[in-house]
Amino acid sequence: MARTKISDVAREAGVSLGTVSNAINHPERVRPDTLALVNEAIDRLGYLPNQTARLLAGGVNAVIGLVLPRLNHGCSLQIANGARNEAIRAGYDLIIMNTDDDQEVERRYLQFCVGMQLAGVLVQPSTYQVPRPLRSLPVPVVFLSAPDVPDGALSVSADYAAQGRLIAEHVLSRGATHIAVVGETSRPPLAQRLEGVRAVAAEHPEAHFEVINRGNRYGSSDGARLGAKLARRDPLTRPDAIIGLADAIAVGAVAGAQAAGCAVPDGIMVAGCDGNPLAWGGSVSLTTCSPAGYEIGRKGVQMLVAQINAEREAEAAEAAGVPSAAAAEAMRREWYPSALDYPGMAPAAQNAAAEAEIKNRHEFVRPFLLERASTMGADAAQKGAIGSIGAIPSIPELDVGSYL
Amino acid sequence: MARTKISDVAREAGVSLGTVSNAINHPERVRPDTLALVNEAIDRLGYLPNQTARLLAGGVNAVIGLVLPRLNHGCSLQIANGARNEAIRAGYDLIIMNTDDDQEVERRYLQFCVGMQLAGVLVQPSTYQVPRPLRSLPVPVVFLSAPDVPDGALSVSADYAAQGRLIAEHVLSRGATHIAVVGETSRPPLAQRLEGVRAVAAEHPEAHFEVINRGNRYGSSDGARLGAKLARRDPLTRPDAIIGLADAIAVGAVAGAQAAGCAVPDGIMVAGCDGNPLAWGGSVSLTTCSPAGYEIGRKGVQMLVAQINAEREAEAAEAAGVPSAAAAEAMRREWYPSALDYPGMAPAAQNAAAEAEIKNRHEFVRPFLLERASTMGADAAQKGAIGSIGAIPSIPELDVGSYL
DNA sequence: CTGAAAGCGCTAACAT
DNA sequence: ATGTTAGCGCTTTCAG
């Protein structure tokens, strides 16, 4: 399996080595008939350029690396898809690496990215703290969903507190007066959602908020248990709304409440918080926030590309003898929030999502509301139901392709 | 951002360039104190070797590429996870590429893999036919879920027909006599599942099989429509079991039947066929096949690694002047089906899954049954229900982490 | 055990 | 427009 190289092509085409290189990289510099000759030889020999050699000789690798701690969370998939689409749009390819929460593997992957001279890297650190060696990599980096980020680094995460606020305000607007907030808050995202809910609670002393700090992050059975328990209370102490600090918990709560003989949303409203499509399969479609992952991936790539360009500019400037003070400025100029193309979302919602808050160099993806049957009145629910079969309750469409 | 190179380390450590290289690649060839000196310098300078240069100089890239047409199908995720775990186990890293069904992007990714001198590539072609240029790549390749594979190429796919057989036999064993098979069979996997069902039908003339060739592959609403329609038939013509040729269809059918006032499984049994965890969120947990993806990824990597080793051996032999006829044999010897470590599966089931059929060089992943509430009698269903809350119907546990 | 030197395949100056 | 040549950073002989 001795691979054919550029000199083979040159010989086959009867031209020199440099001409072949030009034909590949600068076709305009070569006469059309020579070009045809070369391309023919390339096809005939099935020549594929050795990327490592090109890179070593000074090429740039138009590839972005995405290092994720896991693949099997709804959010990871969204991030990967958002990043991929934006990367392709910007002329880059994206390669995805799954560390499976293994720090050693993470280290290897990052070394691979740097070693392969990738154009840039998006990293979602496996722990909630960015490990030391990751803090200065000789390659543009953007951190995703990492609350603790090195000084001056770029990052983009979901605005968890805003999710909590959004959902709390929504159930209040739907008439809730006694709201049970369910979820175990040892993990920052849930804790921040709870903070958002609490902020709303502080603004609404007339409503009663009850926090039940329990329920596994990824399981729905705790939610079911708690939902049933809450639904079985006597009417005086029973909440009229449940907020699950994660959608999986909320879905469980729906099932639990129903099993306890309490209709959703008529007997009790239920809402999630994190827009996790993997948890949307319940018998009543769930009101929740927009999934943040797609936007995180999309924005991450935008920031990364901006950084890559800025760096290129800075280097070019430096080469031209210009002081590199302007370099930082170039980056700031480069970065602009462009129009969204979130699939299947209303334009208004898109704009809402696009209004990103910029603090230092950390972007936050703002949520918008996905109002569905679990908090809708009977009238509104009608619209959410599947059309022609009257008797069927709203069944969430499992078109996995477009949701994730 | 001029990266530190090996000569910098050499200067810093006060040794020669070659010694640093040895310290990195053959630590045993260098005196311990010199080694320490070098490592210190490496740390101090934050040196990261340039992978492209190493590769160009003859190194091998212990990285396997996985090229997938999409990320957001349950199966893709399983493949990615199975492949990753097996790859890490075998000492390789895995990078994942999502072509999103774009042939041009697929071409670029494959060129990237070859150009980067990856150790091998797993490809799930985006169409059901392997494109021409893919048919001979100068790198070990294993095709995944590709019915049409070039001569002599390695491949691994799910045994779709066996899935159909398995489910058909199961519902028969549960007492079904009139079975409706629902699903649109223009795509090979569904068509082959149907064939499996038909094979069983042929062996059981006493049972009535009715094929309804409709229902979108990834949507559940068609399933719901059809499920309701079937459930509303009068008792004489109403089927007592529905087989969805995809789980999404089956989940829809469950909801549709229930909405039409027909209990599942007491009024009508329902089963899926493809073990798609993304469709497991319905109100009754679904009987279906084991998800094939994890095993496909796992076996794919095993075959790939075997091929890589065989090739290495063959090259070594060739270098030693031995005729390369033995090379093919080496490969055959290398490849052995090892013990499974499918997470959360019973040992017996593991063995069943491990019994892979080997035809030429195509492996098929055999399914095993996941019997759940949608086909269980009242007695059996009890066991499947969530323990402590008696009244709650069996709610599928949304522990996404372990299913996908 | 160490150091010097020859490429790996390619790109980008340069020379023609 | 085409051919020639000097590296890119590293590994690996091969002498010391």
User: Which pLDDT score, from 0 to 100, does residue B320 have?
Assistant: 59
Give the Å distances, CA to CA, from A5 to A11, A20, A21, A35: 10, 11, 11, 17
CA of B51 vs chain A CAs: smallest distance (Å): 4
Cβ contact A221–B397 (<8 Å): yes
CA of A404 vs chain B CAs: smallest distance (Å): 6
Indicate the residue of A111, A261, A392 with minimum beta-carbon distance to B259.
A392
Tell if B6 CB is < 7 Å from nucleic strand D: yes
Chain position carrying tokens 């670029």? B108
Cα(B195)–Cα(B189) distance, rounded to whole angstroms?
Answer: 10
Tell if A34 CB is < 7 Å from nucleic strand D: yes
Indicate the residue of B49, B85, B396 with minimum beta-carbon distance to A115.
B49
D11 closest protein residue (CA to C1'): B57
Tell if A18 CB is < 7 Å from nucleic strand D: yes
**B379 confidence band (pLDDT: 50, 70, 90):** low
Cβ contact B51–A248 (<8 Å): no
3-class DSSP state for residue B306? Answer: helix
H or E stretch at A383: helix A378-384
According to the 3-state scheme, what is the secondary structure of B248-261?
HHHHHHHHHHHHCC
User: Which pLDDT score, from 0 to 100, does residue A157 have?
Assistant: 92
Cα dihedral value A84, A85, A86, A89, nearest 10: 120
Residue-wise pLDDT tens digits, B12-43: 888 888 899 999 988 888 888 888 889 888 98
Is residue B350 within 8 A of residue B294, CB to CB? The reply is no
| Higher-confidence position of A65 and B321 | A65
Residue-wise pLDDT tens digits, B239-293: 999 999 999 899 889 988 988 989 999 999 999 998 887 676 667 888 999 888 9
Residue-wise pLDDT tens digits, A172-200: 999 999 999 999 998 888 999 999 999 99
C9 closest protein residue (CA to C1'): A53
Q: List the one residue out of B124, B127, B119 whose CA is nearest residue B97.
A: B124
Residue B191 pLDDT exceeds 90? yes
Cβ contact B218–A401 (<8 Å): yes
Residue B401 pLDDT exceeds 50? no
Q: Write the CB contacts of B185 (distance below 8 Å, at least 6 apart in sequence).
A: B191, B194, B213, B245
Query: A264 contacts in B (CB within 8 Å)?
Result: none
- Of A339-348, B218-227, B279-288, the one with minimum mean pLDDT is A339-348
Q: What is the DSSP string of B359-399?
A: ETTEEEEPP-EE--GGG--HHHHHHHS-SS-TTS--PPP--
Q: Which of the 8 DSSP states describes residue B137?
A: -
Backbone phi, then psi, for B201, in 5-degree steps? -60, -40
CA of A325 vs chain B CAs: smallest distance (Å): 15
Max avg pLDDT among A132-141, B119-128, B200-209, B273-282: B200-209
Q: What is the mean pLDDT of residues A105-110?
A: 92
Query: B114 contacts in A (CB within 8 Å)?
Result: 48, 51
Q: Write the CB contacts of B221 (distance below 8 Å, at least 6 apart in sequence).
A: A386, A395, A397, B252
What is the nearest nucleotide to B59, using C1' and CA? D11
Instruction: Please count the CA atoms within 13 angstroms of the CA of A254 that sit on its side-chain side.
Output: 31
Cβ contact B84–A98 (<8 Å): yes
User: Which pLDDT score, from 0 to 100, does residue B224 have?
Assistant: 86
Cβ within 7 A of any strand C atom: A 3, 5-7, 17-18, 21-22, 24-26, 49-50, 53-54, 56-59; B 15-19, 22, 28-31, 34, 53, 56-58
Cβ contact A392–B283 (<8 Å): no
User: Which pLDDT score, from 0 to 100, does residue A216 have?
Assistant: 67
Chain position carrying tokens 């929504």? A170
Residue B340 pLDDT exceeds 50? no
Q: List the one residue out of B309, B312, B268, B313 whose CA is nearest residue B287.
A: B268
Residue-wise pLDDT tens digits, A263-302: 999 999 999 998 887 676 667 888 999 888 989 999 999 9
Residue A329 pLDDT exceeds 70? no
Measured CA B9 to C1' D13 distance, in angstroms: 22
Residue B383 pLDDT exceeds 60? no
Tell if B57 CB is < 7 Å from nucleic strand D: yes
Cβ contact B398–A218 (<8 Å): yes
Cα(B36)–Cα(B230) distance, rounded to whole angstroms?
Answer: 75
Q: Which of the 8 DSSP states describes residue A367?
A: P
Q: What percent of chain A has pLDDT over 70?
A: 76
Indicate the residue of A85, A100, A392 with minimum beta-carbon distance to B255.
A392
CA of A173 vs chain B CAs: smallest distance (Å): 29
Q: List the one residue out of A187, A204, A196, A264 whose CA is nearest residue A230.
A: A264
First-residue to last-residue Cα distance in chain B: 41
Cα(A125)–Cα(A155) distance, rounded to whole angstroms?
Answer: 11
Residue-wise pLDDT tens digits, A132-143: 666 678 889 999
Q: List the one residue out of B157, B164, B166 whose CA is nearest residue B192.
A: B164
Q: B215 in the Ramachandran plot: left (φ > 0), alpha (ψ -120 to 50) or beta? A: left
User: Which pLDDT score, from 0 to 100, does residue B29 have?
Assistant: 86
Angle B337-B339-B344 from CA coordinates, rounded to 5° = 130
Q: Which of B72, B97, B104, B404 to mutate to test the interface with A (most CBs of A within 10 A)?
A: B72
Q: Which amino acid makes up residue B248? A: A
Residue A43 pLDDT exceeds 50? yes
**A74 confidence band (pLDDT: 50, 70, 90):** low
Measured CA A31 to C1' C16 distance, in angstroms: 17
Q: For B283, which residue in chain A has the nearest alpha carbon? A: A283
Q: How many CB atoms lie within 10 A of CB A37?
A: 19
Cα dihedral value B284, B288, B293, B294, nearest 10: 80
User: Which pLDDT score, from 0 to 100, does residue B169 have?
Assistant: 96
Measured CA A23 to C1' C5 distance, in angstroms: 33
Strand D bases with any atom < 7 A from protein Cβ: 1-5, 7-13
User: Which pLDDT score, from 0 to 100, does residue A341 have?
Assistant: 35
| Higher-confidence position of B91 and B346 | B91
User: Which pLDDT score, from 0 to 100, does residue A270 have?
Assistant: 96
